[in-house]
Amino acid sequence: MATKKEEKEFEKERKAAIKARHKKMKEDGIEKYLTPEQIKYNRRKKAIGTVWPFFRFIILFGLCFIILYPLIFMLSTAFRPNEQMNDPSIVWIPKSFTLSNISDVWKVMNFTDTVINTIILNLIASVLQVITCSLTGYGFARFKFKGKGILFAIVILMIIVPPQITTIPLYMQYAYFKPQWLAKLLTGGETTLINSGWTMYLPAMFANGIKAGLFIFIFRQFFRGLPKELEDAAYLDGCSPLYTYVKIMVPNAKQSFLTVFLFSIVWYWNDYYVSSSFFTKNDTVALMLKNLNTNLTQQLFDGQSVSVRQIIVWLEAGCLLSITPILIMYVFLQRYFIEGIERSGLAN
Amino acid sequence: MSEIEKNTSEAEVQEIVQTSEDTAVEAAAASAPAKKEKKHRLSYEKRKGLYGYGFIAIWILGTIYFFLLPLVESLIYSFNQTTVQPGGMEMKFIGWDNYVNAFRKDQDYSLALVNMLKNTALKTPLILIFAIFIAIILNQKFHGRTFARAVFFLPVIIATGPVIDIINGNMSTGGYAGGSEQFSTMFEADLVDQLLNFLGIYNISDKLTETINSLTTDIFNLVWNSGIQILLILSALQGISPASKEAAQMEGATSWEFFWKITLPHISPMILASIVYTVVDSFVDPQNEVMTIVLNKSTNWEHGYSAAMAWAYFAIIAVCLAIVCAIVNKFVYYEVD
């Protein structure tokens, strides 16, 4: 193995050699070496090579602008005093900045408690989900058993069936959870699981959380891509499958674990459908944001209506607050999102 | 030193695996005398199968309780008239009435359904073409690639949450934040019309012009909805070996030819996956018309009726998906098996 320094030197030498050869070719007359078609091909390639980067830059710049537009708008309005929303001379940069929108929304959303509550819910559910989904994915990837086809079809069904179909029966199941002693044990005396975090933890614990089907699928694809020799060696040494999985497969699949974990956190963070069905008190950031408009009218404006253009500043401030934690995570870990997906099983 | 030892031991182990496999194959080939060994192998496989069940046991339990039971339950609801009582659901069997009502009496439902199908049929190919295009660009080497990638995957993080509703301005009480609308007005200048005029295809038919116009003003949603698809296709593009690119260049293939002959077949499995994802995603979205109707019915406590609507809807999705998959699958090229 050459070190990086050596590799750089090799590269330098290679380039110098190519340059020298090109020079010699030019001196001798290029026709000697290449056919007319090759010359034409090279010329066209060179032309495309010089023009394309400009086009690429324009396309990417425009599209990046489209994507970033709402974020820029958010930043622009979140710190703007609400009277200035009606000022036609202001497009992007307000005449003065204020933090009052943020602090208003912080109060209305009860942000400190909400964020802590959401993070706890998210972390526990995501960790449970990753563990169980990876076990299931491994089972599907490496073992042959009867009915595997049908069972895997159910996994696909889990991806396709919209959660809206199963929500109401699920609500009934949680509300009248049987056996009752278990419900009492879990919630500490209550007979219903509604409004307790267990409506999130229990499905995650049994590999049925939000988007669990997709995660099982990703894990299965990933484990299938790992070489079989890894486990065969362990089996010959007399390891049990579970031990082999923990000691050999998990360390090899770190990257895909991280990717799935991050996606799981993102989806739990953004979910408001499932949580709004099972929570009426237990507030998450997404729920708070969903109800922000109503809460604002009730708590901040005392039931008076505020002009639609002015209310934007509070709504956008709320958006900014609620995406900031996840955005910070993304900035630091974005390479795991991208590389993880590229290297994990999805590439197969 | 220890590494060498490890290597040799690994090689040995591999050899053992090899030989044991060989003997197994031989045993299978030679019938009578090696019966004992065959039996042993079978039991080993059976044991492994049992372990397989062990691995997925947690999921099986969970799926029965959290997925299959509710699924069957909601199917039962859909054939019943339901009333919510304290302590449970009271049901009266009415057969197919809920389904018949959904299509015969409820005018909004079938209209929304048709609109939904039309929209999806129009949007899916657009999102796909766009995703392939962007993925190919993002797969090239240039300065600022990491930044561009990070920006293009940003919608994956934000677009699933309620934030996008505020950005789009369709929060429950009317549209005001209206980021996307505001954005669209920036493009609503007559640029597109002028371009169509210039190309000589303006006013050929009103419908064509209208379609093109609606597509260009919808570029915001297009970009914001194709994050995952770009990710999927990019991951497939990474799998194309540089050797094949070099070989194609030696043969004098243009990038155009390279795209059609090598890139496209290579990423075709992921294209299928993206199609499925796009369709499912747009159907499942709680924001779409049909879902809104279904959810409204269920908040009005008409659970049976809403379940029937949801099931009819789901059946239609499933049929559409099956047809699309069957067609696309014919063009998909699998490298291995």
Q: How far apart are CA A176 and CA A194, in angstroms?
A: 9
For chain B, the average pLDDT equals: 74
Report if residue A141 sits inside a domain.
yes
Nearest-neighbour CA in chain A from B59: distance (Å): 5
Q: Looking at the predicted structure, is the pLDDT value of residue A132 above 90?
A: yes
Q: Which residues of A touch B140 (CB under 8 A)?
A: 56
* pLDDT in the model for residue A197: 82
More confident residue, A94 or B6: A94
Q: Do B55 and A37 touch (CB under 8 A)?
A: no
Q: Do A342 and B234 touch (CB under 8 A)?
A: yes
Q: Do A56 and B224 touch (CB under 8 A)?
A: no
* Among the partner residues B56, B62, B291, nearest to A208 by beta-carbon distance: B62
Mean pLDDT of B263-270: 84
Residue A158 · residue A203 · CB < 8 Å: no
Q: Looking at the predicted structure, is the pLDDT value of residue B191 above 70?
A: no
- B54 to chain A, any CB pair closer than 8 A? The answer is yes
* pLDDT in the model for residue B332: 79
Q: Do B59 and A160 touch (CB under 8 A)?
A: no
Residue A289 · residue A111 · CB < 8 Å: no
Report if residue A189 sits inside a domain.
yes
Nearest residue in B to A270, CA atom = B161
Size of interface A-B (CB pairs under 8 A): 265
Q: Looking at the predicted structure, is the pLDDT value of residue B24 above 70?
A: no
Mean pLDDT of A104-117: 87
Report if residue A305 sits inside a domain.
yes
Write down the ipTM of this complex: 0.77
User: Which residues fall within 8 angstroms of residue B36, CB to CB, at 6 or more apart?
Assistant: none
Mean pLDDT of A170-188: 78
Cα dist from B63 to A155, A177, B3, B76, whole Å:
9, 16, 45, 18
Of A137, A132, A336, A346, the C-alpha closest to A254 is: A336
More confident residue, B84 or B78: B78
Residue A199 · residue A174 · CB < 8 Å: yes
Report if residue A187 sits inside a domain.
yes
Q: Looking at the predicted structure, is the pLDDT value of residue B7 above 60?
A: no
Q: How far apart are CA A279 and CA A302, in angstroms?
A: 25
Of B301, B172, B149, B300, the C-alpha closest to B230 is: B149
For residue A179, say if its preceding peptide bond is cis, omega within 30 degrees of 0: yes
Q: In this predicted model, what pLDDT tens digit does every residue of A144-158 receive, in sequence order?
A: 888 888 998 899 888
* Among the partner residues B87, B174, B294, nearest to A164 by beta-carbon distance: B294
Residue A287 · residue A296 · CB < 8 Å: no
* pLDDT in the model for residue B185: 52
Domain count, chain A: 1
Q: Do A138 and B55 touch (CB under 8 A)?
A: yes
Q: Do A172 and B307 touch (CB under 8 A)?
A: no
Q: What is the largest CA-CA distance in chain A?
A: 93
User: Which residues fall within 8 angstroms of residue B187, CB to CB, at 6 or more apart?
Assistant: B216, B217, B219
Q: Do A176 and B286 touch (CB under 8 A)?
A: no
Q: Do A308 and B50 touch (CB under 8 A)?
A: no
pTM above 0.80, yes or no: no
Q: In this predicted model, what pLDDT tens digit does every residue of A218-229 receive, in sequence order?
A: 888 888 877 888
Domain that holds residue A124: 109-347
- B125 to chain A, any CB pair closer than 8 A? The answer is no
Q: Looking at the predicted structure, is the pLDDT value of residue A126 above 90?
A: yes
Cα dist from A69 to A80, B145, B178, B262, B309, whole Å:
17, 19, 12, 36, 37
Mean pLDDT of B79-103: 76
Task: Calculate what percentage of chain A has a pLDDT beyond 90.
Answer: 6
Q: In this predicted model, what pLDDT tens digit does every residue of A79-92 receive, in sequence order?
A: 888 777 777 777 77
Q: Which residues of B touch A133 (CB under 8 A)?
A: 59
- B156 to chain A, any CB pair closer than 8 A? The answer is yes
Mean pLDDT of B321-334: 83
Residue B217 · residue B184 · CB < 8 Å: yes
Report if residue A30 sits inside a domain.
no
Report if residue A156 sits inside a domain.
yes
For tokens 């993070």, name the residue: A119
Mean pLDDT is lowest, of A59-68, A166-175, B184-193, B314-323, for B184-193
Q: Looking at the predicted structure, is the pLDDT value of residue A249 above 80?
A: yes
* pLDDT in the model for residue B252: 75
Residue A97 is given by DSSP the state -
Q: How far apart are CA A103 and CA A48, in angstroms?
A: 53
Nearest-neighbour CA in chain B from A136: distance (Å): 5
Q: Looking at the predicted structure, is the pLDDT value of residue B106 above 80?
A: no
Q: Do B161 and A160 touch (CB under 8 A)?
A: no
Nearest-neighbour CA in chain B from A244: distance (Å): 12
Report if residue A316 sits inside a domain.
yes
Query: Of chain B residues 4-33, which have a CB less than 8 A from chain A?
Result: 10, 13-14, 16-17
Q: Do B176 and A267 touch (CB under 8 A)?
A: no
Q: How far apart are CA B192 and CA B213, in angstroms?
A: 7
* Among the partner residues B61, B167, B295, nearest to A70 by beta-carbon distance: B167
* pLDDT in the model for residue A345: 44
Q: Looking at the predicted structure, is the pLDDT value of residue B274 above 70?
A: yes
* pLDDT in the model for residue A136: 92
Report if residue A206 sits inside a domain.
yes
User: Which residues fall within 8 angstroms of residue A251, CB to CB, at 6 or more apart?
Assistant: none
Q: Looking at the predicted structure, is the pLDDT value of residue A208 above 80?
A: yes
Q: Looking at the predicted structure, is the pLDDT value of residue A128 above 90?
A: yes
Q: Do A316 and B166 touch (CB under 8 A)?
A: yes
Q: Do A293 and B171 touch (CB under 8 A)?
A: yes
Q: How far apart are CA A20 and CA A13, in angstroms?
A: 11
Q: In this predicted model, what pLDDT tens digit does every residue of B205-222 receive, in sequence order?
A: 667 767 766 666 677 778
Q: How far apart are CA B306 and CA B298, in angstroms?
A: 6
Mean pLDDT of A287-309: 75
A2: phi then psi, degrees, rounded to nearest 5? -85, 145
- Give the domains, in start order, of chain B with CATH numbers: 2-93 (no CATH), 99-329 (1.10.3720.10)
| CATH number of the domain residue A129 falls in | 1.10.3720.10
Nearest residue in B to A46, CA atom = B254
Q: Which residues of A touch B286 (CB under 8 A)?
A: 164, 273
Q: Looking at the predicted structure, is the pLDDT value of residue A130 above 60?
A: yes
Cα dist from B252 to A51, A296, B243, B249, whole Å:
20, 65, 14, 5
More confident residue, B157 or B214: B157
Task: Calculate what percentage of chain A has a pLDDT beyond 70.
Answer: 93
Residue A286 is given by DSSP the state H
Query: Of chain B residues 65-84, which have a CB less than 8 A from chain A?
Result: 65-71, 73-74, 77
Residue A340 pLDDT grade (very low, low, confident, very high; cuts 50, 70, 90): low
Mean pLDDT of A33-38: 76
